[in-house]
Structure 1
Amino acid sequence: MTVLDPILADVQKPTAQARGLPNAHYTDPAMFAEERDALFGAGWAGLAVAADVPEIGDALPITFLDIPLLLIRGRDNAVRVFQNICRHRGMILVEEPRKIEGAIRCPYHSWCYSTQGQLVATPHVGGPGFNSHKDVDRTTLGLIEVRSHIWRDVVWINLSGKAPDFEVAMADVITRWAEFDQPQHHGGADSRFTLAVNGNWKLAIENYCESYHLPWVHPGLNSYSRLEDHYNIEQDGMASGQGTLVYRQLRNETGASFPDFADLDAQWDAGAEYLSVYPNVMLGVHRDHSFAIILRPEGPGRTEEHVHLYYATPETDDTLRRKNAAQWKEVFEEDIFVVEGMQRGRRAPGFDGGRFSPAMDGPTHCFHRWAANRIAQHRQVG
């Protein structure tokens, strides 16, 4: 499609001639607000993982792009996302993670909702002692549900409600990893951690897309999974990343490793892949474990990375599992100074978005093209 903004047109040129998104897209609150609708709201974004609410009644309030949301596992065991507000006066319903034993009760006027979102009680709404009123139709005043879908345990949401079905929008990614469409089990408390990064969320995605930085930023990882062992992955319009031909399994003192996922192709015996699924989810798959990283932007210059590790069986060796989490945490922490350094660099007025290596930066440029297209479409519709 034709892009009216010449800066965005430069982003969409072939990789060898293109430049990246300009500084304002990383520093300007107005751009951050625009991206909320253009990059997050229009399509499917990652909010959390279903393992965040493992039991019936578990409720987790999440502020996502300044929107108060509530992740909850209902009495029917389904995981849903609602706006975390009462339909009466817009009061926040749940302030802290907790288990809902009965109904979700608004602390303001005690309107109550089921864990499936229905409005079930409106005390004194018709006057003292009268809990109903002919002009208050409870059936139309349930919690506002946010369209959601669960894939690879990630709870994906579509804020606009207008995106194609998830299976359609993400068809190529789902197909690529179809072999891994089997049970995976969250490793528990020692398989989740959160990293705070003083950088724009896009820089975290861009860094994760490519293997170019491995020799200098991850020398330990590069010692056995070398730069030359990696290949680029580009799935225009939805994801990009990298794969490796060399994956080294962790082993305990007896030589045992994690159990493998079932019936995998031989390519996974020594290989692994890592995808940034746009806009804000970073995924990794290996023969014996996987992970999901959900990015939650907290403004133009700050991002939280919520990391979760999964295994093929519900029971795994405690020591090995903790060692795996510690190893990945070390790798992901090594990236923080890069993201934060690029963020500070975006304050330099002469920087025009930078250039891309045609050989090494294709996945990163793929993400920039996607972002530029979405922003252009948003501006034309708006």
Structure 2
Amino acid sequence: MHSRAPEKPPTDQPVPTDQPVPTDQPVPAAPPVPDVPGPALSARYYTDPDTAAEEVRQVFAKAWQLVCHESDLPNPGARLAATVAGREVLVVRTEDGALAAHLNVCRHRGTRLVTAPEPEGKAIRCPYHGWTYRLDGSLVGAPEARQIPCLDKPALGLLPARVESFLGFVFVNLDLDAVPLAQQCAGLAEAVGHYAGAGLVPVGRARIHDLAGAEVQEANWKVTVDNYLEGYHVPVAHPGLMRLLDYQAYTCEIEESYALFASPLRDKPSSNWAERLYQRIAAPMPGLTEADRRIWRYAVIYPNTLIDFYPDHVLAWTAIPTAVDRVAVPGAFYTRRGTGLRTRLARRLNIHIGWITNDEDVELVARVQKGLSTPGFEPGPLSRRESAVAWFAGRIRADLDAGADPDAADAAGAER
């Protein structure tokens, strides 16, 4: 379990509310959670620079990556740059209101097209030589085009990426043949879609695509994801959560492309004043039920999207490796239109509690990273409460093995 804190107490900004469109495409059922969890990843997966480089190619470049929320692109012509698999991607709202994504590089001499927030516009213009592109990425023209003998405009549009809105959040995939995220995560949309949607309102100044302003943790990105994927450490490491959550009723649902966790709130009043006040005033956002008020949910969309679904707000963030032992965790808070005073107060208390949990987790993941770097260490068996860690480890192994040559794969298998 993990939560991040805001920069300042947020304020509400009403916007129209809608719900994500459910997909009717079939999704293969995932195997049931095994009674005996699979093995954890070997220590080298967290410390080896070559493995980290291979992850960029075999994991991140082929997976859906969270880049922003639809509210960050409110009108046609809006655009922003985000990091996906070590590349900068330009995400835009086109003239017809759809989303488009392109590599953030001019096809002429490789200039970065967008480097900072820019006003909305009907075109994308390179700041170096003025090559101009439509919002859909097609090349409109270049200054002094007659002086460019081989200017093939249809062939020189911006390099495309896949883009999709899911639960109101914008995801990008560099694999143009990727299975749609809505198809991969249809069950997740059914379970938590009423929390989210394009109508969520951002609160505070933090934004998912703001990598420069993100917290950086002293750990491999998978250590941070592992930590989020299990509640086994809660009784030891998070006394505040133990006072609030019914640990014995904590549940975990694992599917092929996501894991969903849920924990009811305790009825017993906490001994901590902030937690006790939260228990007393907790009120759901519009569109949620009384049952939702009594439960916290967490979701991981493979490989590195993490979303907290609380009755009073939604927190979405992602884990982006910046080095083999460093991870940036940009994220943002959201609420719904029409949220009342009581819910807003509950949200601020919840975020205060989350700040404490975050500080505890930051120390924990740094400790784990140092331990994994100890020569000769290999992890022990996993608890059944860590089944999602085993699921994640299996997905990582499969992705890396898919891109390995047979001899390398055999050697890696011998180390597991």
Same fold (TM over 0.5): yes
Specify the alignment match of 1:300 in structure 2. Answer: 324
Write the letter of the residue equivalent to 2:325: G
Q: Does 1:73 align with 2:93?
A: yes
SS at match of 2:358: helix
When residues 321 and 58 of structure 1 are mapped into structure 2, their CA distance, relative to the original with a 3 A threshold, is farther
Specify the alignment match of 1:53 in structure 2. Answer: 73
Q: Which of the numbers 369, 373, 377 marks the counterpart of 2:394? A: 369
Q: Which runs of 4+ in 1 moved over 6 A?
A: 247-253
When residues 15 and 22 of structure 1 are mapped into structure 2, their CA distance, relative to the original with a 3 A threshold, is farther
When residues 351 and 89 of structure 1 are mapped into structure 2, their CA distance, relative to the original with a 3 A threshold, is same
Specify the alignment match of 1:336 in structure 2. Answer: 362
Q: Which of the numbers 263, 271, 275 marks the counterpart of 1:244? A: 263
Contact 2:283/2:293 (8 A) holds in 1: no
State the Cα deviation string for residues 31-90 of structure 1 (Å, max 9, x = none).
Answer: 111111222222323233333334443332223332121223333333332100001122
Deviates more, 1:212-221 or 1:67-76: 67-76
Q: Does 1:349 align with 2:368?
A: no
Paired residues, number: 361
Deviation at residue 256 of structure 1 after TM alignment = 6.0
Q: Which of the numbers 260, 273, 280 marks the counterpart of 2:297? A: 273
Deviation at residue 290 of structure 1 after TM alignment = 2.0
State the Cα deviation string for residues 147-174 of structure 1 (Å, max 9, x = none).
Answer: 0111123222221212212222223323
Deviation at residue 267 of structure 1 after TM alignment = 4.4
Determine the C-alpha separation between the residues in 2 that align with 1:116 and 1:278: 28
When residues 182 and 51 of structure 1 are mapped into structure 2, their CA distance, relative to the original with a 3 A threshold, is closer
Q: Which of the numbers 125, 134, 138 marks the counterpart of 1:114? A: 134
Compute the RMSD of aligned alpha carbons. 3.1
Deviation at residue 139 of structure 1 after TM alignment = 2.6
SS at match of 1:156: strand
Contact 1:56/1:73 (8 A) holds in 2: yes
Q: Does 1:187 align with 2:202?
A: yes
State the Cα deviation string for residues 326-370 of structure 1 (Å, max 9, x = none).
Answer: 43333223211111111111211212233211x321111111112
Deviation at residue 289 of structure 1 after TM alignment = 2.5
When residues 54 and 343 of structure 1 are mapped into structure 2, their CA distance, relative to the original with a 3 A threshold, is farther
Determine the C-alpha separation between the residues in 2 that align with 1:155 and 1:174: 14
Contact 1:39/1:374 (8 A) holds in 2: yes
SS at match of 1:48: strand
Determine the C-alpha separation between the residues in 2 that align with 1:15 and 1:149: 35
When residues 49 and 287 of structure 1 are mapped into structure 2, their CA distance, relative to the original with a 3 A threshold, is same
Write the letter of the residue equivalent to 2:192: W
SS at match of 1:123: coil
SS at match of 1:223: helix
Determine the C-alpha separation between the residues in 2 that align with 1:99 and 1:183: 21
Deviates more, 1:168-177 or 1:269-278: 168-177
When residues 332 and 75 of structure 1 are mapped into structure 2, their CA distance, relative to the original with a 3 A threshold, is farther
Specify the alignment match of 1:311 in structure 2. Answer: 335
Determine the C-alpha separation between the residues in 1 that align with 2:348 and 2:94: 31
State the Cα deviation string for residues 197-251 of structure 1 (Å, max 9, x = none).
Answer: 121111111111111111232211211214223122222x212252102178989
Determine the C-alpha separation between the residues in 1 that align with 2:199 and 2:220: 30
SS at match of 1:77: coil
Contact 1:46/1:295 (8 A) holds in 2: no
SS at match of 1:232: strand
Contact 2:81/2:88 (8 A) holds in 1: yes
Deviation at residue 15 of structure 1 after TM alignment = 7.0
Deviates more, 1:285-294 or 1:14-23: 14-23
Contact 1:268/1:287 (8 A) holds in 2: yes
Write the letter of the residue equivalent to 2:82: I
Q: Does 1:141 align with 2:138?
A: no
Write the letter of the residue equivalent to 1:331: T
SS at match of 1:99: coil
Deviates more, 1:68-77 or 1:363-372: 68-77
State the Cα deviation string for residues 107-142 of structure 1 (Å, max 9, x = none).
Answer: 221101233322223001322xxxxx6742323322
Q: Which of the numbers 34, 51, 56 marks the counterpart of 1:36? A: 56
Contact 2:382/2:390 (8 A) holds in 1: yes
When residues 17 and 241 of structure 1 are mapped into structure 2, their CA distance, relative to the original with a 3 A threshold, is closer
Determine the C-alpha separation between the residues in 1 that align with 2:232 and 2:330: 24
Specify the alignment match of 2:188 in structure 1. Answer: 173
Q: Which of the numbers 267, 283, 289 marks the counterpart of 2:307? A: 283
Deviation at residue 281 of structure 1 after TM alignment = 0.6
Specify the alignment match of 1:123 in structure 2. Answer: 143
| Percent identity between the two aligned chains | 25
Contact 2:305/2:319 (8 A) holds in 1: yes
Q: Which consecutive residues of structure 1, in runs of 5 or more, have no partner in the other structure?
A: 1-12, 128-132
Contact 1:296/1:305 (8 A) holds in 2: yes
Contact 1:104/1:114 (8 A) holds in 2: yes
SS at match of 1:356: coil
Determine the C-alpha separation between the residues in 1 that align with 2:310 and 2:346: 15
SS at match of 1:352: coil
Contact 1:215/1:226 (8 A) holds in 2: no
Contact 1:48/1:155 (8 A) holds in 2: yes
Deviation at residue 320 of structure 1 after TM alignment = 5.2
Write the letter of the residue equivalent to 2:391: C
